[in-house]
Amino acid sequence: MKALSVRQPWAWAIIYALKDIENRGWPIHYRGDILIHAAKTCTKKEYQVAREFCQSMGVVIPELISLRRGQVIGIVTIVDCKFSQVASGWGMPLQYHWKLENPREVTPIPYIGQLGIFEVPDDLVMEVAA
């Protein structure tokens, strides 16, 4: 199954806080389900910036220490992708806005993330997504 690594706390926000836009510098033509992998790396500065943004969206995120990292944490459906010059909700300006729907958590799967879209073996996913 296809997967995307997202840094925390953004990965958490996609699965648990209805973050319905993923901002990327590149478009995606794929439509359908994709695993959300919580990247292993997150600096305190990155966390603080994300925390402040989430608060502006009315979302209180868990403390950094309690966020899962280096694991697949959920599945979401990519339904659209459009470039935007302006900020809107979760969307940042001058980014491709990947429109996300139907977030669902899965039993966490320890896995090493990669850049871009990558594949996670179906047998690992079927055990936790059933």
Diameter of the chain measured on Cα atoms:
41
pLDDT of the chain along its 130 residues, tens only? 999 999 999 999 999 999 999 999 999 999 999 999 999 988 899 999 999 999 999 999 999 989 999 999 999 999 999 999 999 899 999 999 999 999 999 999 998 888 889 988 887 777 665 5
The model's pLDDT over 110-120, given as tens digits with 9 standing for 90+, comes to 988 888 899 88
Who contacts 117 (Cβ-Cβ below 8 Å, separation ≥6)? 2, 3, 4, 28, 30, 34
Give the chain's domain count: 1
Tally of residues, the chain: 130
CATH code of 46's domain? 2.30.130.30
**What residue numbers bound the domain in which 20 lies?**
2-127
- Measured between alpha carbons, how far is 43 from 78 in angstroms, rounded to an integer? 27
The model's pLDDT over 46-71, given as tens digits with 9 standing for 90+, comes to 999 999 999 999 999 999 989 999 99
